[in-house]
Amino acid sequence: MSDEQAAPPVIAVTGLTKNFGEKRVVDNFDITVPKGAIYGFLGPNGSGKTTTIRMLCGLLTPNGGAGTCLGFDILKDAERIKEQVGYMTQKFSLYEDLSIRENLDFVARMYRLDRRKGRVDQALIDLGLADRQKQLAGSLSGGWKQRLALAACLLHEPQLLLLDEPTAGVDPKARRDFWDEIRRLSAQGVTVLVSTHYMDEAVQCDFIAYIAYGKKLVDGPAAEIPARIGLITWKVAGPNLAALEAELKTKPGAEQVARFGASLHVSGTDEAALAALVDSYADNTAYRWSKEVAGLEEAFIYLMAGARDNFARDAA
């Protein structure tokens, strides 16, 4: 057993609940996060991901639930948790009229860190910011702002990173570079909790929790999620996919039909019914069918289709 597997979980909470007025935005949420894991929160905008993250790191007080983060009680020790967590918000929150170095030095002063100059120098090197250290933050592109924000999060050497939609609005290369850095930190034993709605980021995570409208729908190792909900998928390619999609949506067994590039993914939880559906097209040689391993995106679409918006429900 590795040290990470033997260690107690970095986060272990049960029944986490948060209300804003009469609206419940997080409803009875449980999560256990092992040390060194990259744990992804996947869900649509407004699903409660950010609120949950803020409760876990001591920025919001839950209305219900209990548990620990970094060994501290989430209700009693919020200040202790905040001291040991790096939190990267979705919106860039550093000073745009200060340079990269000045921003990092300011954050180091806020944390009252020793060896301040050395820590800032190392952060500039680690995140590839040294050559730009005199550049004003306000003049940076989205990808460079992201690097600066991550560097600021890491100055006090946190053991837990909470990242809220960290790559929103940045280009694909910047996103790849960001995830390379996250994997490097995870390999060093830093635990990362990240909220996202990008599927190509979800596959980077060791564990996934699907959240919709304040409720956790399913969680577990990322590779096991489709199997946990029992999702079976067939891929079909051929001509006039729009008409075929409309037709398949009327067929028994096809609980979900989704376009993926030049093919359709037809999914459901009744394997026999899906097989019968595929057999019914056996004489139509224009279409090519193949059984696929259901992926995270198919699982996400399937779960979202069955979720109910708590705001819409209350308004009905």
Instruction: Tell me the whole-structure pTM to 2 decimals.
Output: 0.84
Both 171 and 268 in one domain: the answer is no
Both 15 and 137 in one domain: the answer is yes
Q: What is the CA radius of gyration of the chain?
A: 22
Q: Is 33's pLDDT higher than 90?
A: yes
Contact at 8 Å (CB) between 191 and 161?
yes
Please give the angle made by the CA atoms of 64, 70 and 71, to the nearest 5 degrees.
75
Contact at 8 Å (CB) between 26 and 214?
yes
Residue of 147, 143, 146, 133 lying closest to 101 (CA atoms): 133
Q: Is 143's pLDDT higher than 90?
A: no
Q: Is 5's pLDDT higher than 70?
A: no
Both 170 and 261 in one domain: the answer is no
- pLDDT, position 199: 79
| More confident: 303 or 152 | 152
Q: In what order do the strands lie in the sheet with 232-237?
A: 256-260, 263-268, 232-237, 288-292
Both 140 and 165 in one domain: the answer is yes
Torsion of CA 105, 109, 112, 115, to 10 degrees: 30
3-state secondary structure of 91: coil
Q: What are phi and psi of 51, to 5 degrees?
A: -60, -40
Both 189 and 232 in one domain: the answer is no
246 C-beta neighbours (distance < 10 Å), count: 10
Cα–Cα distance, 70 to 84 (Å, whole number):
8
The beta strand positions in the chain, using DSSP E, are 11-20, 23-33, 38-42, 64-69, 72-73, 85-88, 160-164, 191-196, 207-212, 215-221, 232-237, 256-260, 263-268, 288-292
Q: Which domain holds residue 69?
A: 3-225
* Digit-coded pLDDT (tens) for 231-246: 999 999 999 999 999 9
Mean predicted confidence (pLDDT) in 26-53? 90
Pairing of strands 207-212, 85-88: unpaired
**Which of residues 207, 225, 243 is at a domain's end?**
225
Both 17 and 108 in one domain: the answer is yes
* Digit-coded pLDDT (tens) for 201-227: 888 899 999 888 888 989 999 889 988
* Digit-coded pLDDT (tens) for 254-308: 999 999 999 999 999 999 999 999 999 999 999 999 999 988 888 888 887 765 5
Tokens 């190392």 found at: 122
Q: Please report, for the domain that includes residue 271, its CATH number.
A: 3.30.70
Both 287 and 261 in one domain: the answer is yes
Total of domains in the chain: 2
Both 114 and 174 in one domain: the answer is yes
Both 261 and 147 in one domain: the answer is no
